[in-house]
Structure 1
Amino acid sequence: MSIHPTAIVEDGAEVDPSVAIGPYSIVESGAVIGPGCRIESCVRIFANTRMGRDNRVCHGVTLGSEPQDLSFTPEKARPLTIGDRNHFKEGVNISCGLKSEDGTRIGSDNYWMAFSHAGHDCIVGDHNIFANSATLAGHVEVEDRTFISGQVAVHQFCRIGSYAMVAGVSGVPQDVPPYALADGHRARMVGLNLVGLKRNGFNQEQRTRIKEVYRLVLRSGLKLPTALTRAEQEYPGPETDHILRFIRSSRRGIISFGETTP
């Protein structure tokens, strides 16, 4: 184990012998840090944090910190559970859980750019990218392989579907469905995330199926239940199943389709 002389690792912290901890960092009692993790300078890892292997935590990151919720008291704290191979750049802040027993959950292979934030009880999947100052309010759910651009603000309880992209400086008041490109002061769906789909190996047939499903569901003028049923019948496939499952389970509703708002 490589621990800088100025770092503080409290008694009761479980730190794998292969972990490196840089100057002036603090690991509180109760925290668990798995093999191969690199904790750089001035990092604070709070007591309820559970971290897997090979994570990189850069300067000034705080993991498992107190939620920004006026109802919080220390006895209400729930875990922050982090998977493997995540990269947290400078100043990233992720809160511990508060309202759910499982707390805040971060998957694996996510890239968090400087000053991005996830609030309490968020659930984040795998292979997502959060650009500088991207902000998730409490209870936000992000599926897999999304791109959340700089200074995006996602409202509490919203969901971001797999392979979606949200453009910079957008406010997200409702769910962003899978494969979508969202943009605007109050984000709207302005098309598909074609670049992301191509990069992730979606062929022309798959991309066309996704396009036709959204055309039917969002632009045909049909009532939503009717449009969903027709999409299921006319465009069968795993992408269709994913879109329909996402929309049917939405609690806040789906962002509208159209031009961005000024």
Structure 2
Amino acid sequence: MHPTAIIDPSAVLADDVEVGPYSIIGPEVEIGAGTWIGPHVVITKLTKIGTGNKIYQFASVGEDCQDKKYAGEPTRLVIGNNNVIREGCAIHRGTVQDQGVTIIGDNNLLMTCVHIAHDCVIGNHTIIASDAAIAGHVKIDDFAIVGGASAVHQFCHIGAHAMCGGATYLAKDVPAYLMVNGNPAESHGLNLEGLKRRGFSDEVLRELRQAYKTVYRKGLRLQDALTELEQQTASPELQLFIDSIKNSTRGIVR
């Protein structure tokens, strides 16, 4: 611990946690082994951080949310393991109107000045690029990528392995595997390069391409496209695509 760091007596830090100059660790904060806290970081309260994380200068972690309904309830923030949270990020705790907790999984990269609002659920291995603004109640699934300066509306759901290009405005859900871009966002095919890098087989890629054509190229109503997809025997990967459409609550980007 740097001598200028301020650690609340109720905070619980593993023995090897490093806390840099002028950082503040607030009440009821837990920080796991191997985590590095840089200079000028504020971790406000009621936050649990796992192992092996790196949090860079001027990040604000576990602050009260900006929802006007918030009335000081003891909501929480839970961050998993091996995340990198770069300079100037702001991550807020949850609200009692939802589950009362904001959740960030493992192995995520939040680039500079990313905002994660109350009640978001971020999966594992995601990348959220600089200046992206993720509004309240958003869910981002594993391996998704959100481009820099993008804005994601409340309650949107970004499916696994999807990619949102830079400066995207997203007001609808993004099915798994898609690439979307624009204001408002439009589909630009599958994130094939990302899927290849993650070891998806040629057979699965062919199946997903055909499913994409069914939903996006045949001119079918969405329900008719889903009916056609559900009539075939689906691999787990295709079923994930189907489920990400069926479970949408805001409509999907098309």
Answer whether contact 1:37 1:54 (CA < 8 A) is retained: yes
Aligned CA-pair RMSD: 1.1
Q: Amino acid of the residue matched to residue 135 of structure 1?
A: A
Match of 1:259 in 2: none
Match of 2:13 in 1: 15
Among candidates 135, 139, 142, match of residue 141 of structure 1? 139
Q: Which deviates the most, 121-130 or 191-200? A: 191-200
Q: Amino acid of the residue matched to residue 249 of structure 1?
A: N
Match of 1:223 in 2: 221
> Structure 2 matches for 1:181-192, cutoff 5 A?
181-192=179-190
> How far off its partner does 1:113 sit?
0.4
Q: Which deviates the most, 94-103 or 48-57? A: 94-103
Match of 1:210 in 2: 208
After superposition, give the CA deviation of every residue in 1:220-247 in whole Å (9 maximum; x if it has no partner).
2333223212112236211221011111
Instruction: Give the whole-Å Cα distance in 2 for the aligned partners of 1:195 and 1:35.
Output: 35
Answer whether contact 1:182 1:188 (CA < 8 A) is retained: yes
SS at match of 2:203: helix
After superposition, give the CA deviation of every residue in 1:74-123 in whole Å (9 maximum; x if it has no partner).
2x241100100000010011100113234100000000100011100000
2:65 pairs with 1:63: no
Among candidates 76, 81, 84, match of residue 78 of structure 2? 81
Give the TM-score normalised by structure 2. Answer: 0.96
Answer whether contact 2:190 2:212 (CA < 8 A) is retained: no
Match of 1:250 in 2: 248
Match of 2:168 in 1: 170
Instruction: Give the whole-Å Cα distance in 2 for the aligned partners of 1:61 and 1:253.
Output: 33
Q: Which deviates the most, 220-229 or 146-155? A: 220-229
SS at match of 2:231: helix
Instruction: Give the whole-Å Cα distance in 2 for the aligned partners of 1:86 and 1:252.
Output: 29
2:61 pairs with 1:90: no
Instruction: Give the whole-Å Cα distance in 1 for the aligned partners of 2:233 and 2:188.
Output: 21
SS at match of 2:204: helix
Instruction: Give the whole-Å Cα distance in 1 for the aligned partners of 2:233 and 2:64.
Output: 46
Instruction: Give the whole-Å Cα distance in 1 for the aligned partners of 2:216 and 2:222.
Output: 8
Q: Which deviates the most, 172-181 or 195-204? A: 195-204
Among candidates 166, 178, 181, match of residue 180 of structure 1? 178
Q: Amino acid of the residue matched to residue 96 of structure 1?
A: R
Match of 2:34 in 1: 36
> How far off its partner does 1:150 sit?
0.4
Answer whether contact 2:81 2:106 (CA < 8 A) is retained: yes
Instruction: Give the whole-Å Cα distance in 2 for the aligned partners of 1:213 and 1:178.
Output: 12
Q: Amino acid of the residue matched to residue 158 of structure 1?
A: C
Q: Which deviates the most, 186-195 or 214-223? A: 214-223
Give the TM-score normalised by structure 1. Answer: 0.94
Instruction: Give the whole-Å Cα distance in 2 for the aligned partners of 1:203 and 1:135.
Output: 34
- Structure 1 residue runs of 5 or longer lacking an equivalent are 257-262
- Structure 2 residue runs of 5 or longer lacking an equivalent are none
